[in-house]
Copies of this chain bind each other. A is one copy, B any other.
């Protein structure tokens, strides 16, 4: 990398999302008096009678969880989208012309699922074995297949929201999967850029990016035979990670066979353990998988390349969090440490979970 970028203010372009990020690497010494969070410890019980995700407990919707032993999937009791609702038609009035340009709306149908990763109330992905994570991957694959075959919906967004500082209401490890009648903004923007890139360059955007990162070796955090994890060139969150499949697969159904599933599970394990080790805390993040639509054109399918994003808010310690406010909301996303600096720190970390070596940890 041009070493001058370690020192000067600059912008970097995210060709996947199509936006720019302001990078201010000289700025890491400014004072901080913001909100502080206590460090999290693994003091949770294996079973919590008040947790609506633990086996055998009642949920607030009234349903009772089974005595599940591996993963458990159910329809969210407070779904953001519903399967059954009236169809929406745009209004027609005297001002319909301008309204239809400036006050556009469209109905959205869908279904929201919750996937518990394990019956244990106190196990995050970082605490789980490769085999246990593989069961989660299999559950995701089954869900993708199920909604593709049995619903009319266009996209499924699998995402995990972890940690109180991310507004997550329950420490019992789980993810959500929202399937919708439309292709949402983020995967839509990525898909548009991947399609354009493919047309212009006759190659896959993420295949080309993967090759560049493997050659430059400046932003690699972890790697195995199936996956590469980098702090991407255009990272916005301080310790953001982009995990790219080495094969140009289109959706997670193409992760076939035990070994490939295990490689997927392994890279998730490595990333989440490194994250927890970074500040010796249960590292909060939002994570999500981007892949081909459930229902898409041939062009949409061909241009895709499975990847997932980890978007963590922590900045300098377990108690200092990045806020996305002010200039970032009104003008442009901004970061202080460079992605290369962040990648070096994550790269150097052990893949053994810090709290397994602590006395008194569950």
Contacts and interface: CB of A to CB of B under 8 A. Distances in A.
Interface in A133-192: 157, 159-161, 164-170, 176, 178, 182, 184-187
Nearest to A164: B35
Interface string A9-21: 1111101000110
A294 interface: no
Contacts of A287: 330
Interface in A50-85: 60, 77-82, 85
Given A9-B81, A108-B9, A185 B102 contact: no
Interface stretch (A40-48, A208-216, A254-262): A208-216
B29 A187 contact: no
A91 B1 contact: yes
Contact of A10 (B4, B105, B233): B105
- Give the number of copies in the complex: 2
A105 B15 CA distance: 11
Given A91-B2, A102-B233, A161-B326, A107 B9 contact: yes
Contact of A212 (B99, B166, B205): B99
A351 interface: no
A360 interface: no
Contacts of A5: 88, 105
Interface in A300-346: 309, 311, 321, 323-327, 329-334
Given A82-B26, A86-B8, A184-B331, A167 B323 contact: yes
A329 B286 contact: yes
